[in-house]
């Protein structure tokens, strides 16, 4: 396995990007914070900071290897502000989900 190129500082910055809350539901993560790959590694996602967020274990398990935007919008607690926050940190997302940003 390759050594991760993600630094502790990058991870701390990412944590702050979402105010220490779960990136997917904006709730407190407590001790259950997990690092999720926006593009799942199973689908070729890379272990780089541009692909990493902190999520609660509930969201992380729910997302699993689903594609982010369709998964997010299908959730019962979906709110547009959740998506807008993700887009502000990951401005490349619309390029991956062109069908959802017409």
Can you give the binding site for Zn ion, defined by CB under 5 A? 22, 24-25, 56, 59
Least distance from C-beta 55 to Zn ion, angstroms? 5
CA distance 85 to 102: 19
Least distance from C-beta 58 to Zn ion, angstroms? 6
Least distance from C-beta 5 to Zn ion, angstroms? 26
Contacts of 50 (CB under 8 A, 6+ apart): 90, 92
CA distance 79 to 3: 36
Please, which residue, 63 or 93, has the CB nearer to Zn ion? 63
Please, which residue, 84 or 98, has the CB nearer to Zn ion? 84
Helix (H) or strand (E) holding 55: strand 52-56
């Amino acid at each position: 396995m390759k050594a991760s190129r993600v630094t502790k500082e990058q991870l701390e910055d990412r944590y702050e990007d979402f105010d220490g809350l779960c990136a997917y539901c904006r709730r407190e993560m407590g001790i259950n914070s997990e690092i999720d790959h926006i593009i799942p590694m199973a689908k070729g996602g890379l272990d780089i900071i541009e692909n990493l967020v902190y999520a609660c274990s509930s969201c992380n398990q729910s997302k699993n290897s689903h594609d982010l935007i369709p998964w997010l919008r299908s959730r019962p607690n979906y709110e547009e502000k959740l998506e807008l926050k993700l887009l502000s940190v990951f401005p490349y997302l619309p390029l991956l989900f062109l069908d959802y940003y017409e």
